[in-house]
Amino acid sequence: MFDWNYIASLIATIAFDIVYFGAIIGTIVVIILDNRNPVKTMAWILILMFLPVVGLIFYFFFGRSHRRERIIGKKSYSHLLKKPMAEYMAQNSCTLPMAYSRLISLFRHTNQAFPFDGNRVEVYTSGLSMLQSLLRELQKARRHIHLEFYIFEDDAIGRLVRDVLIEKARAGVEVRVIYDDVGCWHVPNRFFEEMREAGVEVRSFLKVRFPLFTSKVNYRNHRKIVIIDGRIGFVGGMNLAERYMRGFSWGIWRDTHLLLEGKAVHGLQTAFLLDWYFVDRTLITSARYFPKIDACGTSLAQIVTSEPVGPWKEIMQGLVMAISGAKKYFYIQTPYFLPTEAVLIAMQTAALSGVDVRLMLPYRADNWLTHLGSCSYLADALRSGVKVYFYKKGFLHSKLMVSDDELSTVGSTNVDFRSFEHNFEVNAFIYDTETALQMREIFMLDQRDCVQVFLKNWVKRPWYRKAAESVVRLMAPLL
């Protein structure tokens, strides 16, 4: 007699295997046909082969590409750029530094980033100093406040800023807020509702609601910008949360943020209004958001953005060009070091040619997985002559770069795949000796709180540590 239970079990097993392996093979085919970066393609394939269940879940959440060619139509974009373009064209006396004319041109053509002269720059290296300045400038607002942060916490700091925004909205100031839905995942809705009830226009960036929109987890707005009356702007690495002010029990939170006053604020305004169009589908182009601004400083600056849309990786490409063009030195601070091949090769080539290339990372990071991945690249950097330093006073979250006493950049961009390829980022590129010297001094002061890493000691790490780093490195394009 037939054992029908056995036959049913066998059929079920075969059916499950067909579906299971079919899903894995089908996913691999989709990844290959997507024509991604070969490194990223291999990373996904290896994960699916060795950790199939985990790999399928991760790919469903983070791997699917939903890129679009444009956030906004060309005609609408030209309307948005009309006033900044006019201000740029009116700069009869603007002289571009010859050493960086190609870099400026790159940003101009790939990102519509106009270089503006006559700006004043203030640099903040602590959360407290930035917060005090931000609150002071918010209180001065008379016409509008535009605020955009990856993290806007419901804590003492977040509530302090929220209350000022509510106060200004009730006083008749236009207030618009964009927060990232994933960055503020655990923030209660009531926190933002209180702002809405007071007249603040609040929008979340790419809402994530499982299970329908899981792929959106991969594309996040990592920007941290504020624009006040179109004249004052803030940009850098600090979010609105207590930890950015008080740090951790084991050390300070070391970060860098800028205040900009001048026509460069038009670039921040354009970035915000483009994001507002993305979240609200309302195109704001009124000239009152781009007031005429007289020179108030001596700095030439460009506001450069990058997004996971379109054909270019603007900030990454600019970084490669800047490193390759360095003559004397190029110093980098970043909390995470998971570089694309182009960035790593640029650093190695510069170091091998005699340029003083320095990389500063946190000794102790807030994410052990990305820290392991970062460590896996250090031997490659050290062998080429790149000097590596671990910051030990606390957590280094700064995204500061400075070169040749002429160029500096601060923003939201980390030196990792996620910032270069998946996130919406923004950096201020400043072509000014005074600012560059200040940035260099900041780097050198931080270096006093570092321990230098030497290749002969670094290669003596335990084998299991090297193995763990190598495994994580396979996933670097996905972190």
Whole-angstrom CA distances from 363 to 138, 384, 452, 462 are 35, 21, 10, 17
Whole-angstrom CA distances from 244 to 260, 365, 442, 449 are 20, 14, 18, 19
Q: How far apart are CA 426 and CA 113, in angstroms?
A: 11
The residue with tokens 């490659």 is 380
Token pair of 89 as six digits? 């064209």
The amino acid present at 30, given as its one-letter code, is V
In 284-378, DSSP assigns E strands to 299-306, 329-333, 337-338, 356-362
Burial of 185 (0-12, 13-18, 19+ CB in 10 A): exposed
Q: How far apart are CA 204 and CA 387, in angstroms?
A: 41
Decide if 334 contacts 358 (C-beta within 8 A). Answer: no
Token pair of 419 as six digits? 């910032």
Contacts of 420 (CB under 8 A, 6+ apart): 306, 313, 315, 316, 340, 343, 413
Whole-angstrom CA distances from 410 to 38, 86, 301 are 30, 26, 11
Decide if 169 contacts 197 (C-beta within 8 A). Answer: no
Residues designated as active site: 222, 224, 229, 397, 399, 404
Contacts of 379 (CB under 8 A, 6+ apart): 455, 458, 459
Decide if 428 contacts 258 (C-beta within 8 A). Answer: yes
The amino acid present at 85, given as its one-letter code, is M
Q: How far apart are CA 207 and CA 92, in angstroms?
A: 44
Q: Is 432 helix (H, G, I), strand (E, B) or coil?
A: coil
- Cα angle for residues 451, 454, 455 (degrees, 5° grid): 150
